[in-house]
Structure 1
Amino acid sequence: MAKTTSSSKAADWVTDRMLRAMIAALRRRPYAERIARFGRITAKAIGPLSGYTKRAENNLARIYPEMSATERRALADAVCDNFGRSFMEFQSFREFTDHAAALPPVGPGLPVLAEAAAAKRPVILAGAHFGNPEAPRHALSALGYEIGSLYRPMTNPYFNELYVGALESLGAPCFAQGRQGTMAFVKHLKRGGMATLYFDVSAGHERLPFLGHKAKTAISLAEIALRVDAIVIPVFGIRQDDGVSFQIEVEAPIPHTTPVEMILALNARLEAQIARHPSQWFWVHRRWKDGGQP
């Protein structure tokens, strides 16, 4: 067991150094070029080698059985390209913030957000792994909002340091998922804070419909919102045709009902975005890993 652990740590260290070297090399290139290059590298090399491309194709086949294999592969490549672009943007946080803030956010949730900030009422910005999931937080922070984040630590402990450093670049508090981190996150909200929390990962015990198939779904976001009377506002950073700018959409709040009903409402908002921009959701996730029967 100790030998396996040592081997795993060595592999993590090597992966971390390779990624850091690639990031350092690309940072010497102009911003738009580096983002596009890493997108292509992910689509053509990292995606196929890591299994991400195949996983995306399998998920697409489940949801869109009428889609041809050629169409699925092209869409999977576009998904990996967006994934790579998002990764490199996250590691170029200063320029990324400038691009995320270039177009003013739009949507009916904006005045609600302003009113909540003035009243110091808690706000959960419900994010999804779509477009660039960090774009809304960066764009809204540029308007003067202090927005924290509850995040899931990366399994590679070395690269997690780089990841957390990028998360904390906005100066707002960030909390690692887990008992202590979640407690701190709740306290932050109780003080009238704002923070992002993603709702589209395989977690929890509920199996709720998503894109027509049952998926393991956490309802904790809604449970926390009800506990601290936080407004839940869905936000999306939609990548534009130039590949580096975004439309930041701040949608109308999700009404407080039951936790399951609230998460179903969030799923419906994300499904509508996926219908409009199918290549921008991260189909590489194991969203239906337990079978996902309708």
Structure 2
Amino acid sequence: MAKKTKSARQAAWEAAAIRALLSWPKVLPFGMRRAVVAWLMAWIVAPVAGYRGRIRANLAHVMPDLPEPEIRRLMRRVPANVGRMLTELAAGEEFLDLLRDEPLTGPGVGALDEARAAGRPVIVVSGHFGNFDAMRGVLALRGHRIGAIYRPLNDAALDADFLAMLTAIAEPVFPRGRAGLARMIRFLKQGNAVAILPDQYVNRGEALTFFGQPAPTALSAAEMALKYDALLVPVYGIRRGDGGFDLVVEAPVPHGEARAMSQALNDSLEARIRDNMDQWLWIHRRWKPARQAKRAARAAKG
């Protein structure tokens, strides 16, 4: 058997740690469970997994003047938010009960309901911010048929756990890939809603800006909205200090040129993050400046 590389060992350790955090704290009441897993993520998992270094590197890239105390605060609070989110996803009906009486707010609520009544396709777009599945859950509770696309995880056992959790909140859930995308488009064309999180590095994405820096971005949400005459709406499940959520539906992005529509989505998310810096996933590699530099150098050589 081939010896595992350091990155493979790290990935296996992270998967095992997350599986443990999803399982054994279930003996605790929901509120206590969220607090305990948040603490473990912030003080145990994050330092070992290298999350703090990723957070610092991302902040240095886009906000080099951020004061050191704020950087340190985010190095603790961002993993804590991930811990709360994981606990909520694993809680199933308990999580939905938390959302059941939360109102939808924002200028896009009426447009969202009108689209559902008219059978018009809807694409709701958010980011790895707050709890991005809170809005999916509450829209399902309000009668929307809402699907989502997700990237299957490399660890098979953890992937099965996550798929079960995602479908418990709302279904269908479509795995990323050609077959999953085809199913999602059929579902959308039937007049349903789909949820997309485009705030990820895309190798061949458009060089849009995010926090003032080039961030290769997929245009697919905007392109689908144009192709299928779908409403394109930024939505956010923003965590409150009392344990609940502000569920915000922004005004729909007007149809136009796909690049401009996609930049509008980036700008919307950036504004929300700036108001709640600790709720975005600063852990993930959104910009990859070294990779971008190599790509630019290759392009310059022709």
> Same fold by TM (over 0.5)?
yes
Quote the residue 1:187 is aligned against: 186
Contact 1:126 / 1:198 at 8 angstroms: preserved in 2?
Answer: yes
Q: Deviations over 1:30-50 (max 9, x none)?
A: 111101111111111111111
Residue 121 of structure 1 deviates from its aligned partner by 0.6
Q: Deviations over 1:170-200 (max 9, x none)?
A: 4521111111111111111111111101111
- How many residues of Structure 1 are paired with residues of Structure 2 in the alignment? 291
Give RMSD over aligned pairs.
Answer: 2.2
Residue 264 of structure 1 deviates from its aligned partner by 0.4
For 2:14 and 2:71, locate their aligned partners in 1 and report how far apart those are by CA, in whole Å: 29
Quote the residue 1:275 is aligned against: 274
Identity %: 36
Quote the residue 2:196 is aligned against: 197
Quote the residue 1:236 is aligned against: 236
Contact 2:21 / 2:37 at 8 angstroms: preserved in 1?
Answer: no
Residue 13 of structure 1 deviates from its aligned partner by 7.1
Q: Which moved more, 1:200-209 or 1:8-17?
A: 8-17
For 1:85 and 1:57, locate their aligned partners in 2 and report how far apart those are by CA, in whole Å: 21
Residue 53 of structure 1 deviates from its aligned partner by 1.3
| Unpaired stretches in structure 2, ≥5 consecutive residues | 294-302
Are the structure 2 counterparts of residues 32 and 141 from structure 1 closer, same or farther at C-alpha, using a change threshold of 3 Å? same
Alignment of 1:1-294 (within 5 A): 3-4=2-3, 16=15, 18-203=17-202, 204-242=204-242, 244-291=243-290
Q: Deviations over 1:211-244 (max 9, x none)?
A: 00001111111111111111111100000012x2
| Unpaired stretches in structure 1, ≥5 consecutive residues | none
Q: Which moved more, 1:13-22 or 1:198-207?
A: 13-22
Q: Which moved more, 1:262-271 or 1:60-69?
A: 60-69
2:212 maps to amino acid: G
Q: Deviations over 1:75-120 (max 9, x none)?
A: 1211111111111111112111111233211111111111111111
Are the structure 2 counterparts of residues 54 and 102 from structure 1 closer, same or farther at C-alpha, using a change threshold of 3 Å? farther
1:275 maps to amino acid: R
For 2:88 and 2:158, locate their aligned partners in 1 and report how far apart those are by CA, in whole Å: 16
SS in 1 for 2:65: coil
Q: Give the TM-score of the pair, scaled to structure 2.
A: 0.90
For 1:13 and 1:38, locate their aligned partners in 2 and report how far apart those are by CA, in whole Å: 19
Residue 290 of structure 1 deviates from its aligned partner by 3.0
For 2:232 and 2:56, locate their aligned partners in 1 and report how far apart those are by CA, in whole Å: 32
Contact 2:148 / 2:172 at 8 angstroms: preserved in 1?
Answer: yes
Residue 71 of structure 1 deviates from its aligned partner by 2.1
Are the structure 2 counterparts of residues 271 and 90 from structure 1 closer, same or farther at C-alpha, using a change threshold of 3 Å? same
Q: Which moved more, 1:272-281 or 1:165-174?
A: 165-174
